[in-house]
Chains A and B, each alone.
Chain A
């Protein structure tokens, strides 16, 4: 390879340079636009996006237990807490928490009996146990992850590592005292 082939020849801008620049720019923009439909085709399809909310009937859940519902392919824990569990969650000092967050911030006002969290350990994605009282809930009374021993309290907050974050709270809204809709914060969303 000769040096000359790589070195740009210095000359004054001509009409040809302008044309070349414009044509290259148009070509580059076109290529970028051409790529988008391909990339976007890998995003969730229209019907999958449409399934982004589910309604849950709370009446069959006994106090002190939780059920698992599936939302967007993920397990969601819906737990009806006992008065004692609520008190324990509310009275935990923030200084003792790995990921400090108050219990009030994790439940809906006036519905603090109900804790709704995504049931996926924030460490590496296993599903913690503890929905039923017969399962291991760990020493903080919430959930215990079988994979690497992370422990969560009755507010779904991580109390013992290796998980770095609290179980996340999905967007949801109370349609009535006994029905919630997961996936949206607004009642009207269909």
Chain B
């Protein structure tokens, strides 16, 4: 016995750590016929770890106060090393986590993994889902954008339907509205809950290992040759799955990071203005649809909570003794019908309640929601109990080693819930070509400098860029001396030796503040309108750069006859409502470029939008460059794991 073995033995005799790992991870007997749908449990575990890690590192930089939260998130995005990566990893991670967990649950539903003796295993899983929902909701509040604020308001108000509801809601808020105390406690709990999830996950695993995994046939293992050790067979299979998952996750982080987000959340929270169309994150949409479909407030809230609570009773609602849908000819159809119903509910939740689907015989969204809500509950309360009584199942195989099953095919359902604009009379936004578009796009440096010149000479009269610092302009190609000169043209407030507030020239580390000291001053100077800060404007509006471009180039002198343009307003078909306070900002000859050219309005609009896109996403080029490396890495990793898996599994197949 060598000395390492001796040390291991010494430790193991006192603390059976190594035996535990050996028993539960290495030798752990696992059914040999698990298909790829069984990959999602380990993927969920890995996602949880990555979410906790990225969350802890983000928490080191985040400021949980209503004054600082929004800016601190932008500070993370722009100044913290790899801050944009941590945030996009975390934000898209929430989405990935729910996709994984929902697939994991549908798998359990299809193969009857909740049936005896795995009832508690399933119920612990439902507890995890509840905790995840609470965690995700509170996390979404933290960036303190418009959706954060109004999401928090709407969800906390759900509790007002209960007895003493008013007091409960005020207790949740720590005040009379969602405010600083609410944000602080949500941050504290958002940090705590993931660790509660870890605790329940451990219980979930203990329950799992008690009777081992269910399997696609849903029958118990009877002989030793039905099982194989977890390692290396399922470790390598899980690694292969992880590689594929990494590719998908990385695609969203590096090439489409705001795909699942809402533009409105890049607008700082405003307690006095509710966004026109508020929606929760996609993973809550089916439940949100149930809430809205029911015209009675109390009943709506109860049904929404009930839609999740009912999962606790699933093991007893399903009266069939046969686990796997493979042998249940009727249940199989009901299962897929239920899956489709959940998708339709999500679709309903994404559209406003008064939406009418003209393509489907003028079906109203409300009716569709009510119909699908009824079907949702009917699946659990009618279909499952009755199927067990009336359904005749196919003969079950005697053992796992007997049957030859059809190979299951992975169907990756990519969620493409349409991001619809509310059906106002806004013309659809024309698509322009942008240098920074697409996976290979980069900012054109000349356009950026021209765009900045337009910002300085035109936009800066009313709009600030407070998330951008002068030193960031180095990315436009300016050198240190030029940046210093640019900064010195602006003034910042400071206090002198005697405590008086004085103005001094800005330095490169100052942010590009707007011309007004506060919102009131800005409104007073602009006929009551508030010129928004432009730092995030291309991320904060549906349509992004195309919308800003369309807005800048579409001031029409003669509005349609039926529109009465108010005093001091200007007609612009792309602005919601058609009337905008901003005067037409660009006109021929307003700017002369350094090369002597006098650009057209369209050219100026293009340049300034390119500049604003940079101001909103300065990390874009670095992000894409890194994205390619990560995708190539995961492709290699997945390929290697695939071949290794094939080789390791060759023994089992024969």
Contacts and interface: CB of A to CB of B under 8 A. Distances in A.
Interface of A: 1, 3, 5-6, 15-16, 19-20, 22-23, 26-27, 30, 33, 36-38, 40-43, 45-48, 50-51, 188-190
A63 to B, nearest CB: 20
Contacts of A36: 82
Interface in B48-80: 53-54, 57, 60-61, 75, 78-80
Contact of A37 (B5, B60, B82, B641): B82
Contact of A190 (B19, B83, B483): B483
Contacts of A47: 79, 469, 471, 509
B643 A19 contact: yes
A15 B641 contact: no
B81 A19 contact: no
Contacts of A45: 61, 75, 79-81, 83
B611 to A, nearest CB: 20
A51 B470 CA distance: 13
A121 B425 CA distance: 70
Interface in B460-517: 469, 471, 480-481, 483-484, 508-509
B508 A37 contact: no
B29 interface: no
B66 to A, nearest CB: 22
A26 B640 contact: yes
Contact of B637 (A19, A27, A41, A190): A27
B637 A30 contact: yes
B207 interface: no
A186 to B, nearest CB: 12
Interface centre among A1, A5, A45, A48 (most CB of B within 10 A): A1
Contacts, number: 84
A16 B648 contact: yes
Interface residues of B, number: 40
A46 B81 contact: yes
Contact of A5 (B22, B480, B643, B647): B22
B86 A38 contact: yes
B19 A26 contact: no
B637 to A, nearest CB: 6
B85 interface: yes
Given A23-B640, A47-B509, A50-B471, A41 B83 contact: yes
B636 interface: yes
> Closest 4 A-B residue pairs measured CB to CB?
A190-B480, A37-B82, A45-B79, A23-B640
Contacts of A37: 81-82, 85-86
A91 B630 CA distance: 62
27 contacts: A5-B22, A5-B26, A6-B5, A19-B640, A19-B644, A22-B640, A23-B640, A23-B641, A26-B636, A26-B637, A30-B637, A38-B57, A38-B82, A40-B82, A41-B82, A41-B86, A42-B57, A42-B60, A45-B61, A48-B79, A50-B508, A50-B509, A51-B509, A189-B480, A190-B481, A190-B483, A190-B484
B239 interface: yes
A5 B27 contact: yes
A36 B636 CA distance: 20
Contact of B239 (A3, A27, A46): A27
A144 to B, nearest CB: 27
B57 A41 contact: yes
Nearest to A188: B480
